[in-house]
Amino acid sequence: MIRSGNRFEGRVGVVTGGASGIGEAVVRALHAEGASVVVADVQEAGHALAAELGDRIRFLRTDVTAESDIESAVDLAVEAFGRLDVMFNNAGVMGTLGPIDRTPMSEADLTLAVNLRGVLCGFKHAARVMKPQGSGVIISTASPAAVLGGVGPHVYSAAKAAVVGLSNSVAAELRPFGVRVNTVIPGAVVSPMTAAVVADGADDLAGATATLGDSALMGRAITPEDVAAGVLFLASDEAAFVTGVTFPIDAGMTGIAGRSPYTSGRYEQPVTLLEAGRTTAVTGRS
């Protein structure tokens, strides 16, 4: 649910991949909180989003594999609204799928161009505005595949791992300039891209919700709005001393291997395990 407020009144954001999914949710949330936002996306759906939200929104068709497009998106924010406070490097694709020994290198290059080079360009052009400004927040979208094997395609996983490393490196540079840099790791989020993988196509959000809900770690599927709430926290003054952080929004997927085996079944009643496997029962309360 998007809450209206004024946490971002007078502030300006650029959201790459802002026409759908997580990006759209962040655009809507920033706008509802008073920000002016440039929606930077290759999808023409960005026009409709800008028309719907109206005031304080601009759409610019942006291919993040082209540095000049990202440069133009940042320039538009400054020209239209006077500054840049939040850069959300969110545009991404699953990219090339399949066995490593059959990976087409041309498709691998494209996957890296979107998921890594595009983020690098986002950092570059946000920093050129934020450093002299003396303030700003840059947030990038990674993935559980950045830190866990077997949950994402090979090249996608490599790119998202690189995003985490790049973000932490840039955070060290920009901290003295008053610019904070963080990364979010969304779990399996209901979005058109996810629906294309787990349901009957990009438009089958209901199918994606049902499929992801069946395996949800906390009772329901993660929504773009759940991720947007985390992004807005990191972008807000409430996170004024949060930088160089990788922030999972994944129901514990990357931090909790599974349900604890030591709290149920044979261990439902407390027991202490000592040397050579000797156990002692725990009685009473302490």
pLDDT 10s digits, 76-112: 999 999 999 999 999 999 999 999 999 999 999 999 9
What proportions of the chain, in percent to the nearest 5, are helix, strand and coil?
45, 15, 35
pLDDT for residue 1 is more than 70: no
**What residues contact residue 252 under an 8 Å CB cut-off, 6+ apart?**
217, 218
User: Which candidate in 8, 59, 156, 247 is catalytic?
Assistant: 156
Distance CA 190, CA 210 (A): 9
Count CB atoms within 10 A of the CB of residue 94. 18
Catalytic residue status for 156: yes
In the predicted model, what is the mean pLDDT of residues 62-71? 98
Domain-embedded: residue 22: yes
Task: Please give the residue range of the domain that contains residue 104.
Answer: 12-187+222-257
How many domains in the chain? 1
CATH value at residue 229: 3.40.50.720
Give tens-digit pLDDT for 13-38. 999 999 999 999 999 999 999 999 99
Is 205 in contact with 25 (CB distance < 8 Å)?
no
For the chain, the maximum distance between any two Cα atoms, rounded to a whole number of angstroms, is 71
pLDDT for residue 116 is more than 60: yes
Structure-block tokens of residue 19: 């026409």
Domain-embedded: residue 1: no
Collapsing DSSP to helix, strand or coil, 172 comes out as helix
